[in-house]
């Protein structure tokens, strides 16, 4: 069963998490001829569901967090439902496309894959992706790495290792498997970047268990290195996609 690490800061998560590049969706749509129905599993605040909505007749978007779903933007053809990944209310052979963005590591992956196979149509596309540690430049990156590993490192759930190794230890037993890499680049000031760091589940756990804000340990040096201007931040995205065969 998936862990819920984001309900307590759902509004902040919706505001400061990244979107995904057009090239990623262009690739996925190119290998998905059916466009009647899509399932965005672990939708969070509905970012991916909203991006899929123009291309599919309907989108079912599920998450275990009601608070996250309350932050999702409504669309006429999106239905948001509180549901786990491993057991859903959907009928057999419903979907042409199944997506999981930055959420697979919270699931019982084997049970989710079984459920995805049940609710997907023959030959449907299943795509799972995530993004690794953000990059800024050679001066700031070591500070980010120190914060990630040494400051909040002990407060990451064990599941996080699946992001670090790009799902390498999670079997993906589907047909016609393809792997792709993408980048999402945005221009942020230091304040925006710090607010993004606050959405990390490890930062939230540190605050709960230690009773202090961990960002205080790097905020001053980060602001000094960053300066007043906006800087380009780069998120490396890894994706795997395959076809569901029954």
Mean pLDDT along residues 163-179 = 97
Q: Would 38 be classed as within a structural domain?
A: yes
Residue 112: pLDDT over 80: yes
* Confidence at residue 25, expressed as pLDDT on a 0 to 100 scale: 98
Q: Would 140 be classed as within a structural domain?
A: no
Q: What's the pLDDT tens digit per position in 57-67? A: 999 999 999 99
Q: Would 129 be classed as within a structural domain?
A: yes
Q: Would 237 be classed as within a structural domain?
A: yes
Domain extent, residue 50, equals: 7-133+158-185+233-243
Q: How far is CA 162 from CA 41, 169, 245, in A?
A: 17, 7, 25
Q: How many residues does this entry show for the chain?
A: 246
When the pLDDT of each residue in the chain is averaged and rounded to a whole number, the result is: 93
Q: Would 209 be classed as within a structural domain?
A: no
Query: Domain count of the chain?
Result: 1
Q: Would 211 be classed as within a structural domain?
A: no
Q: What are phi and psi of 120, to 5 degrees?
A: -90, 155
Mean pLDDT along residues 95-113 = 96
* Confidence at residue 77, expressed as pLDDT on a 0 to 100 scale: 98
At 1, the pLDDT band (50, 70, 90 cuts) reads very low
Q: Pick from 168, 197, 14: which is nearest to 104 by CA?
A: 168
Mean pLDDT along residues 55-83 = 95
* Confidence at residue 15, expressed as pLDDT on a 0 to 100 scale: 55
Q: Would 212 be classed as within a structural domain?
A: no
pTM over 0.85: yes
Residue 12: pLDDT over 90: no
Q: Would 169 be classed as within a structural domain?
A: yes
CATH code, 42? 3.40.50.150
**Share of the chain residues as helix, strand and coil, in percent rounded to the nearest 5:** 40, 25, 35
Q: What's the pLDDT tens digit per position in 125-142? A: 999 999 999 999 999 999
């Amino acid at each position: 069963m998936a862990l819920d690490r984001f309900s307590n800061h759902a509004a902040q998560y919706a505001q400061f998490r990244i979107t995904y590049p057009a090239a990623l969706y262009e690739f996925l749509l190119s290998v998905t001829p059916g466009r009647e129905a899509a399932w965005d599993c672990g939708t969070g605040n509905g970012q991916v569901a909203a991006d899929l909505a123009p291309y599919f007749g309907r989108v079912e978007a599920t998450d275990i967090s009601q608070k996250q779903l309350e932050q999702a933007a409504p669309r006429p053809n999106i239905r948001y439902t509180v549901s786990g990944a491993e057991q859903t209310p959907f009928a057999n052979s419903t979907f042409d496309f199944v997506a999981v963005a930055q959420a697979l590591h919270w699931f019982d992956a084997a049970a989710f894959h079984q459920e995805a196979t049940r609710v997907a149509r023959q030959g449907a596309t299943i795509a799972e992706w995530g993004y690794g540690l953000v990059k800024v430049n050679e001066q700031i990156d070591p500070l980010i790495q120190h914060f990630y590993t040494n400051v909040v490192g002990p407060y990451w759930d064990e599941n996080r290792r699946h992001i670090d190794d790009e799902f390498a230890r999670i079997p993906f037993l589907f047909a016609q498997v393809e792997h792709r890499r993408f980048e999402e680049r945005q221009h942020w000031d230091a304040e925006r970047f710090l607010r993004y760091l606050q959405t990390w589940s490890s930062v939230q756990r540190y605050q709960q268990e230690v009773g202090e804000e961990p960002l205080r340990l790097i905020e001053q040096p980060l602001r000094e290195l960053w300066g007043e201007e906006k800087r380009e931040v780069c998120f490396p995205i890894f994706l795997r996609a395959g076809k569901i065969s029954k």
